Amino acid sequence: MYENVKVIAMDLDGTLTQHKTPLSREYRELLLKLSEKYKLLMVGAGQVIRIFNQLEQFPIDIIGNYGMQVGVYSAQTKTIELVRDTTVDCDRQQIAEKIDALRRKYGFTEYAGEAVEFHPSGCVTFPILGTKAKQEDKLAFDPDRSKRRKIYQDVVNTFDDYCVFVGGSSSFDMAPKPYDKYHALDQYCKENGLSHDEVVYIGDDYGLGGNDESVYQSDFPYLTIDNYLDFPAVVKPLM
């Protein structure tokens, strides 16, 4: 079923690495082997340069910020060069008011740091425990995502001009519509003369509200992964 595949697109955290940890030497070698047969593409929620550095400067093109950024690897300079860096203005006061209403509705009125995180791209994070919450508190808050999934649809309805994702360990991430990973991959295909069946995607965050869900629910071939340690087994059919 993968005979038409020309591009392997993939997520990073939870798929290739632990959350925000560097690419291992073993997986670097595996990616190099895959790159002999396929074009490799990273599709991430974060900024291109952060993803590139986490990958230890691996030679790969990177889509960041759900398609708002696109970086192309230069073999000459051995760096990533931004060819797209879209920013969208947002009404900060209105967003803050909406998040405050959600906090009061669901009892999330105690938090450390800021109640909202605004990103230069126009993306927004709703950090339920606040921007300065302790890491141990964030990890303990909602490990199976059930708390956030219970109110996910309400957050979606509140921010109907954003794509909303259950992000990290205790937050909701929001990107201005139409930016999500499906839109990013579809745009990539249009710009590179590819059909969807020529791109296979690998990601772990494919459940309700996950930032890979839009691709999982689409016509792109999709390989699911639930533990980054399983990556070699998951890609074996493509070798």
Query: The CATH number of the domain where 96 resides is what?
Result: 3.30.1240.20
Last residue of some domain: 176, 202, 217? 176
Residue that is last in its domain, among 133, 153, 176: 176
- How many independent structural domains does the chain possess? 2
39 lies in some domain: yes
Rg of the Cα atoms in the chain: 18
How much is the pLDDT for 70? 98
Low-confidence residues of the chain: pLDDT under 50: none
Question: Is residue 2 included in any domain, yes or no?
Answer: no
Instruction: Determine, yes or no, domain membership for 97.
Output: yes
Tell me the two tokens of residue 24. Answer: 């291992």
Q: Identify the DSSP state of 154.
A: H
Among candidate residues 176, 191, 213, the one where a domain is terminated? 176
Instruction: Please tell me whether residues 78 and 117 are part of one structural domain.
Output: no
> In this structure, are 100 and 154 located in the same domain?
yes
Give domain status of residue 98, yes or no. Answer: yes
What's the confidence (pLDDT) of residue 71? 98
Are 77 and 97 within one domain?
A: no
pLDDT (0 to 100) of residue 196: 97
Predicted TM-score (pTM) of the model is 0.94
Q: Under DSSP, is residue 59 helix (H, G, I), strand (E, B) or coil? A: coil
Domain carrying residue 112: 92-176
Strands of 162-167's sheet, edge to edge?
117-118, 124-127, 171-176, 162-167
What is the largest distance, in Å, between two alpha-carbon atoms of the chain?
54
Residues 152 and 195 in one domain: no
Spatial separation of the C-alpha atoms in residues 115 and 117, rounded to whole Å = 7
Residue 50: its pLDDT value, please? Answer: 95
Residues 82 and 191 in one domain: yes
Rounded to whole angstroms, how far apart are CA atoms 125 and 123?
7
CATH number of the domain within which 82 lies:
3.40.50.1000
Does residue 1 lie within any of the structural domains?
no
CB atoms within 10 A of CB 105: 12
Q: Are residues 81 and 190 in the same domain?
A: yes
